[in-house]
A and B are shown apart, each in its own frame.
Chain A
Amino acid sequence: MNLHTEKLRSLLCFFGFSLTFLTFSHHATAQVDDISLEELLEMDIEKMVELQSSGRGEVGSFGYRLGDNDSRFNIHGYTTNEFISAQNGVSTFDNHYYNLFVGSSIGDKIFAEIQLEYEHGGEEIQARYAQLDYKVNDALIIRTGKFLVPINVFNEYLYPEYINKAISRPFMNRNITPTAWAEVGVQLRGSFAMGEQTRGFYSAYVVNGLEGEEGGDIRSMRNNHRDKNSDNKAFGGKFGIKNGGLELGTGVYTGKYTADGELGLTIFSVDAGYVNSGLTLRAEYNMANMQTTARDIVRTGASATASYIIKDKVEPILRYDFMNWDDETDPTKDKNRIYAGINYLISNTMNLKFGYEFITNEGAEIDDNVLAFQLALGF
């Protein structure tokens, strides 16, 4: 076959392909082209929108197609880097948190948000909460999914390190109300006016609930994302009032915590806070009543914190906290602590903290004081 014939064959193949492609694409668009203007005019405007694409065989997937909606997407996060040196442990740097908040709002009624938690340099990765809100009005918001338990102000509003005044969390906020504590279920919440200056707020919820070993550590009972062992659900609620810088609140949680659904756990919290100019005062008391086959275990804890911002930049802080485990086998678990620290406020969501913890163990001389530095940023 000579060169001329080969070129002719190539050209014929090209035209054949082009004609096939043109015919095919014309037919594809003709399906909408076939709709006459007269037919369009007989349609509702909604139908006109629907008509224009089949939603099949197109670019992108679910996320891309959701871009058609009026969705206001946002992504934020916070990061916490630390140096911790404990008397009875090794010193370490810690990329403690790099967490992302990803969310969206559709109109002013629908809100979705997830906190993706990357802890200790990515060793622990999970969804800290993943919730969907529907706002009926200010007094009634329906929240579903995995949400922070509204037991006290620390768990819902204050625990991220770019907000928390101290480097560490109070003992009770780790082991009685195990912040960050989230459960899967349904919650009703809202706020309402109580007089000119005062606003009340409430939450009421039903969730799968904490589940773990009899008499065990409450903190390890989190992440019961799906009930597999027992139908029992946990219930709870919170009520609080806010007047200017003064805030008071009380919350309760109750449910069966063992897999057999037999033993109950009730957690109670009351908190108070006052913020005015640079002064912040906070106090909180938590109690957990845990049934066991032998007896009820009653764990209690409290904290009181005072801090003051000097010239918008420097914030000394003092905190006292304690926790009683009611553990007859190891009374030294009961601790009290004085935390003394100083914060440098780089911006309103970025701070550098230095803190020293003087820890006292009940009935034992244990050297477990802690020196810590922390850099925290909310972005």
Chain B
Amino acid sequence: MKNTTRILIALFFVLISFGAEAQDSKFHSAYLYQFGRIMNWPALEDEFVIAVWGDSDIIPLVEKVASIKKVKEKTIVVRKVTNINQLSGSNIVFVPADGVSALGKITATIRNQGVLVVSEKKGTTRNGAGISFIKVNGKMLFELHKANIAAGGLKSTLALERIAHKVY
């Protein structure tokens, strides 16, 4: 009986945490759309490309966003990328938490190409991301690094800076 109780308690916490992560991914994907909508982009190609680094639960959600919305009247295309050679042509690169070790080479590759690097893990604007997500008091917010955005060949907008939790 003791073992059964322990298993049930463990299952309880797993269910709770799983629900929270799904909620986070929903907000991440909605934010990616908002960043695309609010940022000023250099001349866009026929499609607005959101690249996701590696396997991530966010991919089906961003694909859902792509099926509903457009950015600057361009169709959103979602690409899963696993190496830096596949980044060419991207407008936003989303780096999940387990991919942040690649941030350095990602930011070096997209330099001055008009690409916004968004990182899931908090504090990773220190590692070159233009935007990183952060959860504060239960709210999914983001931090913005102006110099990193500029290094990607973009200029951050006042609208984003006003709503950002922190601007570096």
Contact = CB atoms under 8 A, between A and B. Distances in A.
B65 A41 contact: yes
A29 B19 contact: yes
Interface of B: 1, 5, 8-9, 12, 15-16, 19-20, 23, 26-27, 29-31, 33-34, 38, 61, 64-65, 68-69, 136-141, 159-160, 163, 165-167
Given A11-B5, A48-B34, A53 B65 contact: no
Contacts of A90: none
Contacts, number: 72
B139 A49 contact: yes
Contact of A38 (B68, B139, B160, B167): B68
Contacts of A45: 31, 34, 38, 159-160, 163
Given A25-B16, A49-B163, 5 more contacts: A37-B65, A41-B65, A45-B31, A45-B159, A46-B163
A33 B23 contact: yes
A89 to B, nearest CB: 55
Nearest to A45: B34
Contacts of B64: 37
A179 to B, nearest CB: 39
Main secondary structure of the interface of A (DSSP, over half): helix
Interface in A27-81: 29, 32-33, 37-38, 40-41, 43, 45-46, 48-49, 52-53, 58-60, 64-65, 67-68, 70
Given A25-B16, A41-B65, A45-B163, A52 B139 contact: yes
Main secondary structure of the interface of B (DSSP, over half): helix
Nearest to A52: B139
Interface of A: 7, 11, 14-15, 18, 22, 25-26, 29, 32-33, 37-38, 40-41, 43, 45-46, 48-49, 52-53, 58-60, 64-65, 67-68, 70
B68 to A, nearest CB: 6
A41 B23 contact: no
Contacts of A46: 163
Contact of B165 (A7, A18, A48, A70): A70
Contacts of A37: 26, 29-30, 61, 64-65, 68
Given A18-B12, A38-B68, A52-B140, A33 B19 contact: yes
15 contacts: A14-B5, A15-B8, A22-B12, A29-B23, A33-B19, A37-B68, A38-B68, A41-B65, A45-B31, A46-B163, A48-B34, A52-B139, A53-B138, A64-B137, A70-B166
Contacts of B160: 45
Contact of A58 (B27, B61, B138): B138
A65 B137 contact: yes
B49 to A, nearest CB: 18
Contact of A48 (B19, B27, B65): B27
A142 B152 CA distance: 39
B99 to A, nearest CB: 22
A37 B27 CA distance: 8
B138 A49 contact: no
Contacts of A32: 23
Shortest Cβ-Cβ A-B pairs, 7 listed:
A40-B30, A52-B139, A45-B34, A53-B138, A37-B26, A53-B139, A45-B163
A309 to B, nearest CB: 39
A25 B139 CA distance: 17
Which of B19, B20, B139, B166 has the most chain A CB atoms closer than 10 A to its own CB?
A: B139
Nearest to A21: B12
A45 B32 CA distance: 11
A25 B19 CA distance: 11
A25 B29 CA distance: 24
A330 B136 CA distance: 66
A68 B138 contact: no
A41 B137 contact: no
A7 B141 CA distance: 47
Contacts of B141: 49, 68
Contacts of A67: 136-137
A5 B60 CA distance: 50
A40 B1 contact: no
A18 B33 CA distance: 38
A58 B5 contact: no
A337 to B, nearest CB: 53
Nearest to A59: B137
Given A41-B68, A46-B163, A68-B165, A53 B15 contact: no
Contacts of A68: 136-137, 139, 141, 165
Contacts of B166: 70
Contacts of A11: 1, 5
Nearest to A30: B19
A30 B118 CA distance: 27
A70 B167 contact: yes
Contacts of B30: 37, 40-41, 43, 48
A52 B138 contact: yes
A68 B137 CA distance: 8
